[in-house]
């Protein structure tokens, strides 16, 4: 049986069915399939990837803190998924366009997001979280799996224009059960659209374990649509970089879509509105702590004599500075008046809108009276 057709019995066997370059203990392992795609990666590049993951984890921690302090309405943590997001994100070219879900903070970072971009949407301020045209990322998508259809539509436009850009869409394991994702793969395969599907399998679709919705690896579904796939260790940043380079090369060369499943783990809650202690064990959490993506890369660099205290101190300082700037941007945002939600909805006055405006004004007045 191929790895994609092998049932998943437990976490250990699940991980053995993934491609990797750096093992959990930090040792480099040969991988004939992925090694050719990272031949140019030197220790400085690995230190850069390490920096990115540390800064991302600090951004994530600050986002949670801001939400707990009442500055954000919600936050979707990505702790534990740093390698999957930074590795794939750093493989992209500037002209590629990303269609994310709501958890791709690391992909935003890899595309050059500014401190305020991480919090604007979660604070409920005007506009999207960032300028999609500037970063090359569509607005964060809350509807599960909807962004995959948008990505395929964009990819069809790329093909129509004769360009060599690639559309990339990210989604979680839970989204693979949605019709939108499967419909997107049908269209992508039928029209050989230049799109890469990236499934971050973090093992939990809110409170539902991935083993309940799929007895077999999720990467095995793509070949059924005629889409080649790779299943990689999502906590190995080098493997994620290599796999994404493979997928982008495939799509960019006119061969059609490609699919990646990055097997990782969501260490925190689904969102800050969730309590993961209600549905998963401490033992499972501890098992995945031993596969931490940052600690893994640090072990690899340290064993090679390529991880200095100077680097660690500089990276931590950069991470803390990013958090300070992110907090300052958040606290400095000026919320528009509530009634401004009706501005610029229609070019001309509209009786229905005026009625809604009056009703909303009356509703707001009840708070003033209280």
Which residues are catalytic, by number?
266, 270, 279
Rounded alpha-carbon distances, angstroms, from residue 62 to 70, 244, 327: 12, 28, 7
| Whole-number CA gyration radius for the chain | 22
Interacting residues of 164 by C-beta distance below 8 A, sequence separation 6+: 194, 252
Strands 167-172, 195-201: pairing kind: parallel
* Contact by Cβ (8 Å): 106, 222: no
CA 323 to chain centre: 19
Three-state DSSP class for residue 335? coil
- Nearest 5°: the CA angle 42, 47, 48 is 95
Please give the distance of CA 87 from its chain centroid, rounded to a whole number: 11
CA angle (353 as vertex; 347, 357 as ends), nearest 5: 120
Give the residue from 284, 257, 132 showing the smallest Cα distance to 182: 257
Q: Which of 23, 103, 69 is nearest to 267 (CA)?
A: 103
Specify the DSSP element, H or E, that contains 59: helix 43-68
């Amino acid at each position: 049986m191929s790895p994609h057709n092998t049932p998943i019995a437990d976490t250990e066997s699940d991980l053995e069915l993934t491609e990797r370059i750096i093992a959990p203990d930090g040792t480099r392992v040969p991988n004939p399939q992925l090694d050719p795609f990272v031949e140019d990666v030197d220790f400085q590049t690995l230190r850069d990837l390490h920096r990115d993951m540390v800064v991302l984890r600090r951004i994530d921690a600050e986002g949670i803190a801001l939400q707990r302090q009442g500055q954000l309405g919600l936050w979707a943590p990505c702790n534990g998924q740093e390698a999957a997001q930074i590795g794939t994100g750093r493989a992209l070219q500037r002209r590629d366009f990303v269609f994310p879900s709501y958890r791709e903070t690391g992909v935003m970072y890899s595309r050059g997001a500014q401190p305020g971009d991480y919090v604007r949407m979660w604070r409920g301020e005007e506009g999207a979280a960032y300028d999609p045209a500037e970063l090359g990322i569509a607005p964060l998508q809350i509807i599960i799996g909807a962004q995959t259809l948008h990505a395929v539509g964009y990819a069809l436009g790329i093909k129509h224009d004769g360009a060599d850009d690639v559309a990339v869409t990210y989604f979680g394991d839970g989204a693979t059960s949605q019709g939108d994702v499967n419909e997107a793969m049908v269209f992508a395969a039928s029209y050989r659209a230049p799109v890469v599907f990236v499934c971050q399998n973090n093992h939990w679709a809110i409170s539902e374990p991935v083993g309940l919705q799929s007895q077999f690896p999720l990467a095995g579904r793509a070949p059924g649509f005629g889409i080649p796939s790779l299943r990689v260790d999502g906590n190995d940043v080098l493997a994620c970089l290599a796999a994404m380079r493979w997928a982008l090369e495939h799509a960019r060369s006119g061969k059609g879509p490609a699919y990646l499943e990055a097997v990782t783990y969501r260490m925190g809650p689904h969102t800050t509105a969730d309590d993961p202690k209600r549905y998963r064990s401490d033992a499972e959490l501890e098992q995945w702590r031993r596969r931490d993506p940052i600690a893994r890369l640090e072990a690899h660099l340290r064993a090679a004599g390529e991880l200095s205290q100077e680097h660690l101190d500089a990276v931590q300082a950069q991470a803390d500075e990013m958090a300070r700037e992110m907090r300052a941007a958040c606290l400095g945002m000026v919320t528009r008046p509530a009634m401004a939600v009706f501005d610029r909805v229609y070019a001309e006055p509209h009786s229905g809108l005026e009625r809604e405006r009056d009703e909303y004004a009356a509703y707001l007045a009840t708070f003033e009276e209280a």
